């Protein structure tokens, strides 16, 4: 059981929560995530990155976007409520060292997991360039927090409603063309964005790390549901990852696998909305 000690709405469908999880707060490192379940009988286990933690308070911060059943239910919970299951910290921590110049690219909700990583890179002595992007102005999160850390901050929106009108790959390409080149890129966001970031840096041979958000069930390496093709190998994201060399990841396969249950979830979601609407009508 973990209590929700703080809840904040960051944008239309993005929420931040602080959860009381003293042990996880003590052990976690940048790049790790938790599994969360709202009901032990019928609930689903969903992975969410630890966006921040406070060891003294014994809390961790999660930032999530409402996309389906569990995230919707979670968004309906309030401060003081208890979450049945929070497991973590999971996955391998991000490999942090002083590489020189590091470009941190965060897309949409991916800015949340990027935040502690950018912070850790900065603390390790890197020159940190941060690119954050979203579809539109309302979806930009953690801009101030990133500004505090980054030596350079570039904000872009797809529709030009804020910052530069561009996809994150545009400034990324420009940075790769600088002399000297950046030493490392790390990209976190929707799979399609990570794919194109990797494609952007490939010709410049800049090592690009991506953090994969595959479907997961047990997170102990038991089910293989999280598997991805990385180069010639099959890797399990929960125990081998979540971070991999973006130039080797088979993103197309990963994206197809992420959609395995799309039809079922859609159907169920609509069915639930129907039920709610009917309940409203009859009350």
**Residue numbers of the site for ligand FAD (CB under 6 A)?**
33, 44, 46-49, 63-65, 67-71, 109, 112-113, 213-216, 220, 242, 258-259, 262, 265
Q: 127 with 98: CB under 8 angstroms?
A: no
**266 lines the binding site for another protein (CB under 8 A):** no
Between 224 and 231, CB nearer to ligand FES: 224
The span from the CA of 193 to the CA of 168, in Å, is 8
DSSP-assigned states of every residue in 240-283: H-SEEETTTB-HHHHHHHHTTTHHHHHHHHHHHHHHHHHHHHH-
Query: Using CB under 8 A, which of the segments 12-20, 51-59, 87-95, 104-112 binds another protein?
Result: 87-95
The CB density around residue 207, as the number of other CB atoms within 10 Å, is 14
- Choosing from 76, 259, 270, 273, the residue that interacts with another protein (CB under 8 A) is 259
Q: Which of residues 96-125 bind another protein (CB under 8 A)?
A: none
**216 lines the binding site for ligand FES (CB under 6 A):** yes
23 binds, among ligand FES, ligand FAD, another protein, none (CB under 5 to 8 A by kind): another protein
Q: Please name the residue that has the structure tokens 């979670």.
A: 74
Nearest alpha carbon to residue 98 among 12, 26, 184? 184
Q: What separation in angstroms does the CA of 62 have from each of 21, 113, 141, 177?
A: 12, 9, 13, 35
Query: Using CB under 8 A, which of the segments 97-105, 137-145, 146-154, 249-257 binds another protein?
Result: 249-257
Report the interhelical angle of 191-201 vs 169-177 (nearest 10°).
Answer: 20
Phi, psi for residue 191 in degrees, rounded to 5: -50, -40
Q: Please name the residue that has the structure tokens 């941060």.
A: 130
- Choosing from 99, 223, 247, 248, the residue that interacts with another protein (CB under 8 A) is 223
Between 89 and 242, CB nearer to ligand FAD: 242
**265 lines the binding site for another protein (CB under 8 A):** yes
Instruction: Report, in Å, the least distance between residue 213 CB and ligand FES.
Output: 12
**223 lines the binding site for ligand FES (CB under 6 A):** yes
Query: Using CB under 6 A, which of the segments 83-91, 205-213, 224-232, 275-283 binds ligand FES?
Result: 224-232
Peptide bond into 89 cis (omega under 30): yes
- 186 contact partners, CB below 8 Å, separation of at least 6: 94, 102, 103, 104, 105, 114, 117, 208, 209, 210, 211, 243
**219 lines the binding site for ligand FES (CB under 6 A):** yes
- Choosing from 49, 166, 227, 241, the residue that interacts with another protein (CB under 8 A) is 227
The span from the CA of 153 to the CA of 157, in Å, is 14
Q: Which of residues 235-264 bind ligand FES (CB under 6 A)?
A: 236, 238
Binding site for another protein (CB under 8 A): 23-24, 27, 37, 39-45, 69-70, 84-90, 217-225, 227-229, 234, 236, 239, 250, 252-253, 256-257, 259-261, 264-265, 268
Binding site for ligand FES (CB under 6 A): 216-219, 221-226, 236, 238
């Amino acid at each position: 059981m973990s209590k929700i000690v703080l809840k904040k709405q960051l944008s239309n469908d993005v929420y931040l929560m602080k959860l009381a999880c003293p042990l996880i707060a003590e052990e976690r490192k940048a790049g790790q995530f938790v599994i969360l379940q709202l009901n032990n009988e019928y609930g689903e286990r969903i992975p969410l990155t630890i966006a921040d933690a406070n060891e003294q308070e014994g809390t961790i911060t999660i930032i999530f976007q409402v996309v389906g059943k569990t995230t919707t239910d979670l968004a309906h919970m309030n401060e003081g409520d208890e979450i049945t299951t929070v497991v973590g910290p999971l996955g391998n921590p991000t490999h942090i060292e002083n590489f020189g110049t590091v470009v941190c690219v965060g897309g949409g909700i991916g800015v949340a997991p990027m935040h502690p990583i950018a912070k850790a890179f900065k603390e390790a002595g890197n020159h940190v360039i941060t690119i954050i992007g979203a579809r539109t102005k309302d979806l930009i999160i953690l801009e101030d927090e990133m500004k505090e850390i980054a030596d350079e901050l570039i904000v872009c929106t797809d529709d030009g409603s804020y910052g530069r009108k561009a996809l994150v790959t545009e400034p990324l390409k420009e940075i790769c063309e600088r002399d000297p080149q950046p030493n490392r890129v790390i990209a976190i966001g929707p799979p399609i964005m990570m794919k194109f970031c990797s494609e952007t840096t490939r010709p410049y041979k800049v090592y690009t790390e991506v953090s994969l958000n595959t479907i997961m069930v047990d997170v102990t390496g038991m089910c293989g549901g999280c598997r991805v093709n990385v180069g010639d190998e099959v890797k399990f994201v929960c125990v081998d990852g979540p971070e991999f060399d973006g130039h080797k990841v088979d993103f197309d396969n990963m994206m197809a696998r992420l959609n395995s249950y799309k039809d079922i979830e859609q159907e169920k979601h609509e069915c639930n909305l129907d039920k709610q609407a009917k309940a409203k009508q009859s009350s």
